[in-house]
Amino acid sequence: MLKSILSPTTQRVRLHTKEKINKRIQKKTQKNIEYYKTRSRKEIIARIENLDKEWDIERALETNAAIIILLSVFLGIITNKIGWIILIGIISGFLLQHALQG
């Protein structure tokens, strides 16, 4: 049970994605490998540099959660309402779940 919840980082997306989608991703990956096998070193390096600039889903989720948490802290302080503190707890819970399960 615990092993299925805490899957290895490299396996998280595959294990939580439908098989049909995994096959489509694998096919696209293989197609890209075949394409770049015949490209120049310069073109490959340019593609890698572009990929390095892209945000992955992890970074986007962490950024959105951090913004919501910071906003909730600020609103909790200035309004003195417990609801904003509860929101921080809820968002933190989702972050923890995502960190563990993906």
CA separation for the pair 102, 99 (Å, rounded) = 6
Residue 79 has pLDDT above 70, yes or no: yes
Residue 95 has what pLDDT?
87
Distance in angstroms (rounded) separating the CA atoms of residues 49 and 41 = 12
Residue ranges covered by each domain of the chain: 1-54, 55-102
* Average pLDDT for 73-89: 91
Tell me how far apart the alpha carbons of residues 87 and 102 are, in angstroms, rounded to a whole number: 21
pLDDT tens, residue by residue, 19-64: 999 999 999 999 999 999 999 999 999 999 999 998 888 888 889 9
Closest to 102 (Cα-Cα) out of 48, 71, 57: 57
